[in-house]
Structure 1
Amino acid sequence: MASSVKFARAYRALGRPKLQTKSSFCFRAEQFSAEVGPAIAELIASQTGRFDEVLVDRKEIDASTFEISGGWSNFEFTYKLSSAGEADVYQNLKQLLIECKTIVRGGLPIEVYLIDEDICSQDDEILDPRLGNLRALCQLITCLADLAHYHDEKLRGEEYRLIFVEDDGAKGAKTITLQPCVDLDLLKYSVSSNLLESLLESNFDKNPHLVKERSIFRASLVEFSKDSTDARERFRFVVLNWKDFLRLYNNNLDTYLSGFSFHKAKQEVGSAELSIADQLSKLISDISGKVLSIPISLVVLIAIAKAGNVFESTVLVLGITLTSFIMAETIAAQKLQYNRICHSRVLLFSAHEKKIDIYPDDLKEYLRSAIRGLTKNEKMLGRSLWALRCLAWLPAIAAVSLHSFIYMDELIASWRNIMAAVIVLFGKLACF
């Protein structure tokens, strides 16, 4: 198997002789060097080409079977690189981009040696960042191919087109085509594929929202490059403005996530509003049945007026007073329940009120309207409970007043008798 790394070691050991053509070079040594033998052995082991002519001490020997002895004084040979694509050895970076057809599909050989730049991909990428940028571009193309809806390879073998579709329900489907092409100018730019790697189809098990994120990426790509008409230029435009594209994608993703969050917040506000309103409605329903006892108690005043004696009237007054007491305490209990409902409303809406500044205008208005409406209901119900508690004592006060008015003489006489009895009692107690 051809190895460009072994070729690079051998070529460097031979002093990096100049190329006669783009795929051959000549080496000449006028005196013996111990380094030549191991370099030739490494060159043979690299399997990157063949020896075309070999002269040892000015005598031509068989290039396919020669062995270097330790006694030569003059040595020269011509070496031709394989033209069948077996060796990833290129004259320069430009030749690599032209002859390596796999680059447009995101494939870059693991081992590459560039003769003019003297760069080996295994350990010298740091010397020329363009090689690192090329590898990053290949990774970008690979990721874009994974995200594309279709791959079009029908035109010519060296052309590779990636088709992206954005489905717009209102305007129909929008389609763009990217045709990866890499030249020396693009290698001046560094692109990162970290985001795209997280969107690869192989990550479906790790991210349940990946389908939507991939769709947002495609829609963002269509939006970003829709003004370009040529597929090659569109790819160049995306690479040259990669940071701007990532910013657009992140904004679109944030908009989607925020929209989802705001929709959820709106549902929470609506549910909270409905729950509080339902609790207030139940409280009003419970009170309504009990409030009817107030006018019924007032009807008893007629019975007091028609009572045959003071005893009957007194019993009726005590009954109405007891009823008023029970009604007042019941309303007081309802007031406690009302306070708990108000506290629950504050708890349910406090979290949304803290984030109201980041909410969209429609959600802000919806939240404020819900709070205003519930607050108004609470105030009205609070005043009603206070008034009903006062009204609960109205039958008792009216009954006592009517009873006192009708039987005033008997009550005064009774009061005098009671006071006289008390005085006598205290007198007897004083004698002891």
Structure 2
Amino acid sequence: MSLKNIIDLYRYLNKPVYDSNNRRFSFNGSYTNTLRGKLSEIDFNSKFIQDADFAINGDFVNIDDGFPNCKKNDSIEFTIKLAPDGLIAFHLSWADFIYAANYELIKCNYPEEFYIVEDDYYSKEDGINITDSKLKILVKLVNYLSSQAEGTYFEEKFLCLVYFCKSEEGIVDKMLLKINFNNPTLLVDKIDSDIFNELFLKESDDLLINEKKNIFLTTLNDFLRPLSEEIRFISLVTEIKKFQELFLNNLKLYFDKFSFQKIRQEVANAEIDFSEKCSKTLSDIQAKLLGIPISLAGVIAIFNSKDKYEILMLFIGITFTSLILTSTVKVQLNNLNAIKSASKNVFDGFINRYLSCPETLRDMIVNEKRMLDEQQKETSMWLHIFLILSLSPFVLSLIFIMVIYIPRIFFLYS
């Protein structure tokens, strides 16, 4: 036998007046086979019933002997008094239920079986009851608040949650949140808990779940600290939309800051990468550029030489050296142009992608691009100087030969 048998009887009797103070209901009417069947299904010695009095046609009925068969025009009168205490019981209204279940609710133990007379709502039947849904969300919220508290204790009819919060001045202070469900204003508005669902989960794939929880607690402190302890929980529930807006705003500010740092790191890494590549175009040819002064020494040797074969060999050596150096510098110039093109595309992409970012971030990107452009311009200048220097031994030696030695040869053979 369960509470459902008593509820079925109560509904069959067309829900007579329920005296919540004395926890009883009465009936006076026809005694039928259907009613006899309903009564026979109930164990009147169960934990749900404290007392029951029956009279058929004015005669007392001993329920231990069972209910007699029905006769035509039989009438029955009875009063059933339900057992005191216990949550598996009849409750006239949700307010009565909350009053009776307050201690279990603040411990986050939601009763599985109960009956609300005014709503004709039995908790184990299919269907959705708005108040029931609200209470379950509240219990879920309290459960989460409790899990994040530094300490919990019970004080009379309150669950007290202790939080330690750090102020902007760095001072750690205690905030107390007293929770009691026994207040009708808690059930006035619909409670939207969608944004908290991921916080209520014991396990989450969100890599930033801890940051979100910290922001939740910070928002809770900012929202409740100015209020007195007695109204903090009521204010949190009745103004849950305002609290959610504050939480989402704080969440947005955090992620904007997080994104800002991420973008800064991304831009800085790109600047460092292109800067290193730019520097490498010079460092890679430093050893080879030592061939320039050697070639210039060869030019001096040509100028001082009197032997035409020696001059020819020196000229050939200088020519090959100049060609090698020139081609090497030319390759590095091509690499630099490729680096300049790539860096322009990357930084232009940064600027276009982060148009909506704070002005300081856009200025940082532009400044990084400007400094990189200056470095590339300076590198390009040095590479062009080295290109000219690479060609200079060949040009000078050619001039010496054409201006000095060729006329001398013609003069000797003329």
Interval containing the TM-score (normalised by the shorter chain): 0.7 to 0.9
- SS of 2:184's partner is coil
Distance verdict in 2 for CA 1:218–1:65, change over 3 Å: farther
How far apart are the structure 2 equivalents of 1:397 and 1:49? 118
Map of 1:196-345 to 2, 5 A cutoff? 196-200=196-200, 202-203=202-203, 206-207=205-206, 209-230=208-229, 232-345=230-343
Between stretches 306-315 and 363-372, larger displacement belongs to 306-315
Q: Distance in 2 between matches of 1:131 and 1:305?
A: 106
Aligned to 2:389: 391
How far does residue 28 in structure 1 lie from its aligned partner after superposition? 0.8
2:161 corresponds to: 162
User: 1:13: Cα distance to partner?
Assistant: 0.7
Equivalent residue runs for 1:133-172 within 5 Å: 133-153=134-154, 155-156=155-156, 158-167=157-166, 170-172=169-171
For residue 6 of structure 1, report the CA deviation from its aligned partner.
2.6
Whole-angstrom CA distance in 2 between matches of 1:119 and 1:275: 68
Unaligned runs of 5+ in 2: none
**Distance in structure 2 (CA, Å) of the matches to 1:409 and 1:136:** 106
2:189: which partner in 1?
Answer: 189
CA RMSD of aligned residues (A): 3.1
TM-score by length of 2: 0.86
Deviation at 1:104, TM superposition (A): 3.1
Partners in 2 of 1:214 and 1:6 — Cα distance? 45
Given that 2:131 and 2:187 are in contact with CA atoms closer than 8 Å, whether structure 1 keeps it comes out as yes
Deviation at residue 82 of structure 1 after TM alignment? 0.9
- Are 2:25 and 1:25 equivalent residues in the alignment? yes
In the TM superposition, what whole-angstrom CA distance separates every residue of 1:224-268 from its partner, at most 9, and x where no partner exists? 2222122x4111111122223223323333433443343233233
Q: 4+ residue runs of structure 1 moved beyond 6 angstroms?
A: none
CA distance in 1: counterparts of 2:374 and 2:315, whole angstroms: 39
Q: Once the two structures are superposed, what CA deviation does each residue of 1:43-101 show, in whole Å capped at 9, x if it has no partner? A: 44775224442211111233554424212712111111111326421122222222223
Structure 1 residues 212 and 349: alpha-carbon distance in aligned structure 2, compared to 1, 3 A threshold:
same
Q: Which range is displaced more, 259-268 or 76-85?
A: 259-268
Q: Within 5 A, what are the aligned runs for 1:77-116?
A: 77-85=78-86, 87-101=88-102, 102-116=104-118
Question: Residues 377 and 28 (structure 1 numbering): CA distance in 2 closer, same or farther, change over 3 Å?
Answer: same
Q: 1:395 to 1:13 in 2, by over 3 A?
A: same
Secondary structure of 1:179 counterpart: strand
How far residue 310 of structure 1 moved from its aligned partner, in angstroms, is 4.2
Asked whether the equivalents of residues 271 and 372 of structure 2 are also in contact (C-alpha less than 8 Å), the reply is yes
Distance 1:131 1:317 in 2: 101
Residues 369-393 of structure 1 show CA distances to partners (whole Å, capped at 9, x for unaligned) of 2211111111222233233323322
The range that moved more, 69-78 or 194-203, is: 194-203
Tell me the distance in 1 between the aligned counterparts of 2:90 and 2:234: 27
Distance 2:127 2:185 in 1: 18
Aligned mates of 2:329, 2:138 — CA distance in 1: 76
Task: State the alpha-carbon separation in 2 of the partners of residues 412 and 67 from structure 1.
Answer: 150
Alpha-carbon contact 1:2-1:47 (below 8 Å) kept: no
Note if contact 1:136-1:190 (Cα within 8 Å) is conserved in structure 2: no
Tell me the percent identity: 23
Is the contact between residue 278 and residue 336 of structure 2 (CA under 8 Å) also seen in structure 1? Answer: yes
In structure 2, the CA distance between the partners of 1:16 and 1:409, relative to structure 1 (3 Å rule), is closer
User: What residue in structure 2 maps to residue 62 of structure 1?
Assistant: 62
TM-fit CA distance, 1:223: 1.7
- What is the letter of the counterpart of residue 113 of structure 2? E
Conserved 8 A contact 2:87-2:100: no
Give, in angstroms, the shift of residue 37 of structure 1.
1.0
3-state SS in 2 of match to 1:409: helix
Distance 1:235 1:349 in 2: 51
Q: Is the 8 A contact 1:165 1:219 kept in 2?
A: no
8 A Cα contact 1:2 1:86, kept in partner: no
- Equivalent residues of 2:150, 2:164 under 8 A apart: yes
Deviation of the 1:295 alpha carbon: 4.3
Structure 1: gaps of 5 or more residues: 418-432
Per the TM alignment, residue 367 of structure 1 is displaced from its structure 2 partner at its CA by 2.5
Which has the larger Rg? 1
TM-score by length of 1: 0.82
Alpha-carbon distance in 2 for matches of 1:208, 1:68: 69
Q: Partners in 1 of 2:100 and 2:203 — Cα distance?
A: 34
Evaluate the alpha carbon distance shift between residue 388 and residue 50 of structure 1 in structure 2; reply closer, same or farther with a 3 A threshold.
same
State the partner residue of 1:16. Answer: 15
Give the Å deviation of 1:350: 5.7
> Secondary structure at the residue paired with 1:25?
strand
Counterpart in the other structure of 2:399: 401
Q: Which residue of 2 aligns with 1:430?
A: none
What CA distance in whole angstroms lies between the structure 2 residues aligned with 1:142 and 1:188?
21
**Equivalent runs, 1:27-66 vs 2, <5 Å:** 27-29=27-29, 31-44=30-43, 48-66=48-66
Partner of 1:180: 179
> May I ask how many residue pairs the two structures share in their alignment?
409
> Aligned in 2, Cα 1:327/1:108: closer, same or farther, shift over 3 Å?
closer
Moved more, 64-73 or 320-329: 64-73
Tell me the distance in 2 between the aligned counterparts of 1:394 and 1:297: 9
| TM-aligned CA distance change 1:412 to 1:207, over 3 Å | same
Instruction: Assess, with a 3 A threshold, how the Cα gap between structure 1 residues 350 and 255 changes in structure 2: closer, same or farther.
Output: same
Counterpart-to-counterpart distance in 1, 2:146 and 2:64 = 44
Return the letter of the residue paired with 1:122: K
